[in-house]
Every structure is written in structure tokens, then in C-alpha cells.
Amino acid sequence: MLSIDEALAKIRAAIQPLAGEEIFVADALGRVLADDIIADVSHPPQAVSAMDGYAVRAADIPAAPAQLTQIGEAAAGHVFAGTVGQGECTRIFTGGALPQGADSIVIQEDTTTDGDTIIINEAPELGAWVRPKGLDFAAGKTLLAADTLLTARDLGLASAAGATWFRVRRKPRIAVLSTGDEVVMPGAPRRPDQIVSSNSVALVAYAQVLGAEAVSLGVAEDRPESLRAKLKDAAGFDMLVTSGGASVGDHDLIQSVFGGEGLDLGFYKIAMRPGKPLIFGNIGGMHLLGLPGNPVSTGVCAAIFMRAAIECMLGLPAKPLYQAARLGCDLGPNGKRLDFMRAKLTPSDTDLPTATPFDRQDSSMLAAFADADCLIMREIGAGPARQGDVVKIIPLGFSSLQF
């Protein structure tokens, strides 16, 4: 059986970033840049005032007080057309362009006025309160590199730099296929021995949270013909994600049926709990991720492996899987598989958050999974752990949207 790290390395080696598409800057939150963004303009585009006050020539005020004559005004967005000569100044406001001839700003608190006569009570340093052209960035500078996940702040920066349309990675297109004679789509009639295909809904949503576009293809029955027909429906997607039928029971058909349809198997089976039966490969030019059917196994595997696959398609660099937390209770030794325990997370202002696992950890228990904030990871063969020990967790609150 593969370790998680080995499986992730195989996924990353097998998946290339998708092509780019043009997007308008205001629509690009959470998208991944396909190209660098280079400033078209300098910011600010010319020298401007950082304060409300008077634009002066510092040499005119070797000592305070000094008297100057106001010859005009430079409000933001309204350039003063003239030139400030010796003994002269203009009124200026924050963001106003520094007039020709002026080199410094005296803030209005340091002045008194008498008609057009301005008394400067504090001698300015040369360049005081002036934001020179390009203080923030100069035209031609690379501001955001390809493969950057765009935050709200990045969008502000890109638009200030004059980037209106630019290329981001196309969203991965994912087909979600559930399998099993006992599962039926939400809203469809069902017999007492059937359950709702919660995975059909959850997997589409997991994929969306991770930055992909996803469509449910419904449910394949546990018959080879049904599975083959659904495989045809998936043609053209970037990745097919299946749930159920991944083990080697009599009714677990993914490997055998897809094997006959040209599946190039990357790996099968991971030493983890929940989620041991996991299939990764390529079929018909699509990536295939075959997840176990138990809803919590599906969710945990999606949080680790579907996330990695989508990140690769988006061209995102690999991020650490785990964060640190303190254990909220004592735990016994772990067995032969990496264990992911559903847990509540209590934040702290001054210390790591505390992760407290639920008492029952059955992989069919959707209510506890929905209530969980994180997964506590326990290493293969780990000894007993004590309350307060530092443990590795996978937080479940990930989203591509960032401030």
C-alpha cells in the first residue's frame, strides 16, 4: 500500500496545468494567474501630495515663519496648469498632482492665511509629504507572478497597474459519478433499501470549493454496461471522480470495467483510514480519481487527493498539507494505517488551537463530518498521545477566496 506522500507525489507528477483563458479583472477573485502581471502604468502616475496643505518651493522657506503668495489650487484630479515661482505656492489636496516648480508640501495645520497671503509657520524639508511618481511601483515592474492565486488585495493591485483583461488558468472541468444499486439521486423516488446519493451533491460542492467546475453524471448501477455508458458521458472532462465501487468486492466494478476500457492505472490503495481503496489513473485522456463510497471516506479523500489534483490542474504550487494543533484529550495507540479523526477546533489567541476528536469515528457518519472543523492525523504505529501534545491537523475550512 502507498503512503499518502507517495500517492500525492504520483498525482503531482501525472497532472499538468491547464491552459489559460482571458478574464476581466473584477471577475478574477480566487483564480490562478497563467501569466505574470506587469505594470502598464506607474503608481502614482506623477508626483502627488500625501496631505492637504500648500505646494511650495522648500528653498523659499529657509526658516519659519515665511510668507508666500497663493497663485492657484491643485485638487485631486485637477492639475494646476501654471508654474510655482519664487515666493509663490498653491493650495493642494491629498492626491493632487504636485504643480510645476513646487517640490514640497506644507500641511495646512502649519499655516495661517490672510487672503492670498499664506504664512508658513514650519519650514518643510525638501520633498516633505510628496509621493514621488512610481513610489508604489514603476511601469514595467512585474507585480504578480504566474501561478499566483489571486486575492482581493491582488485584484486591487492589478487594476491599479492597468491590468484590465489578463489570462488565468481555466477552471478544471470535473465529472462526478456515483455508483451503487442502493444509491439514488436526491429527489428521485427510492425504495426502503436505498439511500440518497449524498456523494453526488457533496463531491460537486467539494470540487467547487477547491476552484473547479463540476457536474454530476448521476448514479451508475452495479452493472458493467451501466458504468460503461456513464464513462461515455464523461468524455471531454478534465477529470472523472467516482464514488463507490473502488474496493474488490463482487459488486465493486470500477477497476475491472474501466480496466477493460483502457484505464492506465497510476495507483490503487492507500495506507489510510478512512479511505483505503482509492484509484488514480488516466482513462480516455481524462484523469480518473476513484474514491471509496462511504461519505466520510469520500470527503476525506477529496480533501487530500482531489484537492491536490485540482491544485495541479490550476498550476498552484504544492502547499503543506498539515497545520499544528494541540490535542484536546488523551488517545490510545494507532494501528497500521494513517488515521484521520474528525475533530472540533477551539481557537486560541496565544497558543495553537485545540483539536478534540469526536468519540465515534465511523466513516459513514455524515453528521459528525459536517460538524467537524478539522481532521487530526495520526501516524502509522503512533504510540499513545496525551492531551496537550502537538498534533498535525488538516483544517476543513479551506476556500480559494482570500482577502
Chain residues in the site for ligand AMP (CB under 6 A): 178, 180, 182-183, 195, 197-200, 243-247, 292-295
How far is residue 312's CA from residue 307's CA, in Å, rounded to a whole number?
9
**Minimum Å distance from CB 244 to ligand AMP?**
3
Binding at 323: pick from Mg ion, ligand AMP, none (beta carbon under 5-8 Å per type): none
d(CA 88, CA 102): 9
Q: What gap in Å lies between CA 181 and CA 91, rounded to an integer?
A: 79
Containing 389, the helix (H) or strand (E) segment is: none
Cβ proximity to Mg ion: between 96 and 244 the closer is: 244
As a whole number of angstroms, the distance between CA 147 and CA 32 comes to 6
Cβ closer to ligand AMP: 216 or 354? 216
Which residues make beta-bridge pairs with 315?
none
Contact by Cβ (8 Å): 171, 21:
no
Strand order in the sheet with 53-56: 104-107, 53-56, 88-92, 66-74, 117-120, 111-114
Q: Does 290 sit near Mg ion (CB under 5 A)?
A: no
What part of residues 292-311 is at the interface with Mg ion (CB under 5 A)? 293
Give least dist CB 177 to Mg ion, A: 12
Q: Which of 40, 57, 253, 238 is nearest to 140 (CA)?
A: 40
Least distance in Å: CB of 247 to Mg ion? 8
Q: 195-234 mask for Mg ion (x: CB under 5 A)?
A: ----------------------------------------
* φ/ψ (deg, to 5) at 75: -85, 160
User: 109: which DSSP letter?
Assistant: G
Min separation Cβ 273 and ligand AMP, Å: 14
Instruction: Work out what residue 197 binds among ligand AMP, Mg ion, none; the CB cut-off runs from 5 to 8 Å by kind.
Output: ligand AMP
**Amino acid letter at 293?**
G
Could you say which of 53, 99, 211, 244 contacts Mg ion (CB under 5 A)? Answer: 244
Phi, psi of 354 (to 5 degrees): -105, 130
CB nearer to ligand AMP: give 28 or 184: 184
Closer CB to ligand AMP, residue 133 or residue 190? 190
Shortest distance, position 246 Cβ to ligand AMP, whole Å:
6
Residue 402 Cβ vs ligand AMP, minimum distance, rounded to whole Å: 31
Cα→Cα distances 208→91, 173, 215, 394, 400, Å:
53, 10, 10, 19, 9
Total binding residues for Mg ion by CB under 5 A? 4
Residue 183 contacts which entry, ligand AMP, Mg ion, none (Cβ below 5-8 A, type-dependent): ligand AMP
Backbone angle region of 127, left / alpha / beta, with phi > 0 → left and psi within -120 to 50 → alpha: left
Q: Which is nearer to ligand AMP, 178 or 400 (CB)?
A: 178
Interatomic CA distance for residues 241 and 279, integer angstroms: 10
Identity of the residue, 199 or 334, whose beta carbon is nearer to ligand AMP in the bound complex? 199
Least distance (Å) between residue 219 CB and ligand AMP:
7
CA distances from 266 to 3, 289, 321 (A): 14, 10, 21
> Is the CB of 149 or the CB of 219 nearer to ligand AMP?
219
- We find the least distance from the C-beta atom of residue 23 to ligand AMP, in angstroms, to be 33
From residue 149 to residue 188, the character string flagging contacts with Mg ion as x (rule: CB under 5 A) and all else as - is: -------------------------------x--------
Residue nearest to ligand AMP (CB): 293
Residue of 398, 390, 394, 389 lying closest to 322 (CA atoms)? 394
Q: Which residue, 124 or 295, has its beta carbon nearer to ligand AMP?
A: 295
What residues make contact with Mg ion under the rule CB under 5 A? 180, 244-245, 293
